[in-house]
Chains A and B, each alone.
Chain A
């Protein structure tokens, strides 16, 4: 049944959960730490350990961090050839380690680098991968990883499995899972590995420069605010976004948008909320002209209070709200601005 050209996999040889821990300029990416928390939870159901995988040069200062966040051990390679991140070299390193240790699951934070790395690792191991999972679980009997993500056809979730291959790979966007507490008293094992089979670099890093996306609002990032006003396609252009930005300012909150809004360039992509954008958990989410597509909802579902204004009484967003107003966003937003200004004066 299984393609005879692939290596034979005996599922019982594969044990343990790995988290690929990404770091850049001496800082570990938050998304990786969050996955350690999730991995711990899955590992306890499977009765196995969580190992963090770290690659690079001069890693010493960072090595204990994954342990402080809950990993049982850190498997790392300190190698001159890893001083600069070249995607295929890093990916081949993970493959080499995976072939040696045979973990049953490898998780990646779906940062831009993580999304680049993970599919090469999965494919080279001739195994499956699911991108941007919104939930993960394990089946203790089959030890299959249940990889959940929205799929075609409206508000539908697909549960994806890799029943015949190991390891099972998945990526998860930052902030889908909470960051576990950091505890410096935690102990764990550091395992140094030497890599032998690295491919030729065939390339060189020339350098980098920082450029920041233009962001006219001057407001905080969407993940950093307790109140987020979100513009949907229904606000019909930059004028509408401007109105909602004013509202966000008055509320001491910030502005975000649906994918349709950021794709249209009405807001920078860093403000896209959803499965393929940012995940937020503010005290208050206010969506205006947002239809409530599942890919969007996954980025805001865990907000404490959800409010929506939509002119269509049947818009799906009303299934997800605490308070909804059926009506024109503009009239409601202007009325809110007026009321808030009055309140401020008092």
Chain B
């Protein structure tokens, strides 16, 4: 290996999940007209990639499957220091679940960057929080994967990478050494992202550093992508029904309210 090629798949997340509409037939999110932002935790992944590049050299690429207006947030990642961006966009990809999304992303990486060294991804997205994607991309590419990385130190000479990761629920910091290529996700409370340079972002726009990839170039079977290539369906949606509760509401002087509350809680036997 003479140079690191680091690919960072990023998601165009929905900033405000309560202010969106669902398609009445597919129950999928209607993306038209919804503003896009980069999934916040993906910026930590970009940061780790850039830190590796700062220390060991190489090239960092962001890649995203998004509607055509996704170009802008990929340009923002170039503003952080990324070298180039790839926007995968095609109507046949619409309605993809995580399997179909990971399929398009994995195949794009394999096609454009077959000699990639590392794929680095955010821990999860803030709008759907499945954390599926890194493992699914690994599954398509048949390479190892490790979640929740806080640090990674590649060794270009022997082609290995030392990865530290943090398991939050166990309070455990683990260390691994893997042969590259490998996929890792980045622990969301590590690698706080650097600022976006507006000059670099404009430069990205002017020089066309974000390239668009459609299924014409990718050539995936239309039955294996988008809604058709998604094993899961949203069978139905319904309003969440609150459990029956007493719903006694006090309005008025806060001191009186506190007294009223305490009396009731004592009556309920939950405060002694």
Give the contact stretch, choosing among A10-18, A68-76, A83-91, A179-187.
A83-91
Q: Is B22 an interface residue (CB 8 A)?
A: yes
Within 8 A of B (CB), among A265-308: 269-270, 276, 283-284, 293-294, 297, 301-302, 304-307
Are the C-beta atoms of A162 and B234 separated by less than 8 Å?
no
A332 CA to B258 CA, complexed, in Å: 6
* Chain A residue nearest in CB terms to B22: A153
Are the C-beta atoms of B174 and A160 separated by less than 8 Å?
no
CB distance from B110 to the nearest CB of A (A): 14
> With A123-B136, A284-B271, A325-B254 known to touch, is A204 a contact of B224 (CB < 8 Å)?
no
Per a CB cutoff under 8 Å, which of B171, B231, B258 touches A210? B171
A155 CA to B241 CA, complexed, in Å: 9
A160 CA to B188 CA, complexed, in Å: 27
Q: What residues of B have a CB within 8 angstroms of the CB of A115 in the complex?
A: 131, 147
Q: Is B116 an interface residue (CB 8 A)?
A: no
A131 CA to B130 CA, complexed, in Å: 5
Q: Is A119 an interface residue (CB 8 A)?
A: yes
Are the C-beta atoms of B136 and A120 separated by less than 8 Å?
yes
Are the C-beta atoms of A129 and B132 separated by less than 8 Å?
yes
Q: Is B259 an interface residue (CB 8 A)?
A: yes
Q: What residues of B have a CB within 8 angstroms of the CB of A319 in the complex?
A: 242, 247
Looking at chain B, what size class is its interface with the partner chain? 35 or more
* Cross-chain pair count, CB within 8 angstroms: 278
A62 CA to B251 CA, complexed, in Å: 55
Interface of B is mostly: mixed
Give the contact stretch, choosing among A48-56, A144-152, A190-198, A230-238.
A144-152
Q: What residues of A have a CB within 8 angstroms of the CB of B247 in the complex?
A: 318-319, 321-322, 324
* Chain B residue nearest in CB terms to A262: B189
Per a CB cutoff under 8 Å, which of B132, B228, B264 touches A119? B132
A130 CA to B130 CA, complexed, in Å: 8
Q: Is B235 an interface residue (CB 8 A)?
A: yes
* Chain A residue nearest in CB terms to B102: A123
Are the C-beta atoms of B238 and A156 separated by less than 8 Å?
yes
A82 CA to B69 CA, complexed, in Å: 46
Are the C-beta atoms of B178 and A120 separated by less than 8 Å?
no
> With A88-B145, A126-B99 known to touch, is A276 a contact of B129 (CB < 8 Å)?
yes
Are the C-beta atoms of A128 and B99 separated by less than 8 Å?
yes
A199 CA to B178 CA, complexed, in Å: 14
- A-B pairs, top 8 by smallest CB distance, nearest first, are A128-B232, A335-B258, A203-B178, A128-B231, A3-B224, A331-B254, A123-B139, A206-B175
- Extra pairs beyond A123-B139, A207-B174, A284-B271 (16, CB < 8 Å): A1-B228, A91-B135, A91-B139, A112-B167, A116-B148, A119-B131, A122-B99, A122-B132, A128-B230, A151-B22, A159-B234, A270-B168, A323-B250, A325-B257, A336-B262, A338-B258
Q: Which residues of A are in contact with B by a Cβ distance under 8 Å?
A: 1-6, 24, 86-88, 91, 111-113, 115-120, 122-124, 126-132, 144, 146, 150-165, 199, 202-213, 226-227, 251, 269-270, 276, 283-284, 293-294, 297, 301-302, 304-307, 309, 313, 318-328, 331-332, 335-336, 338-340, 343
Q: Which residues of B are in contact with A by a Cβ distance under 8 Å?
A: 14, 17-18, 20-22, 27, 29, 97-99, 102, 127, 129-136, 138-140, 142-148, 162, 166-179, 182, 189, 221, 223-224, 228-240, 242-243, 245-252, 254-255, 257-262, 264-265, 268, 270-271
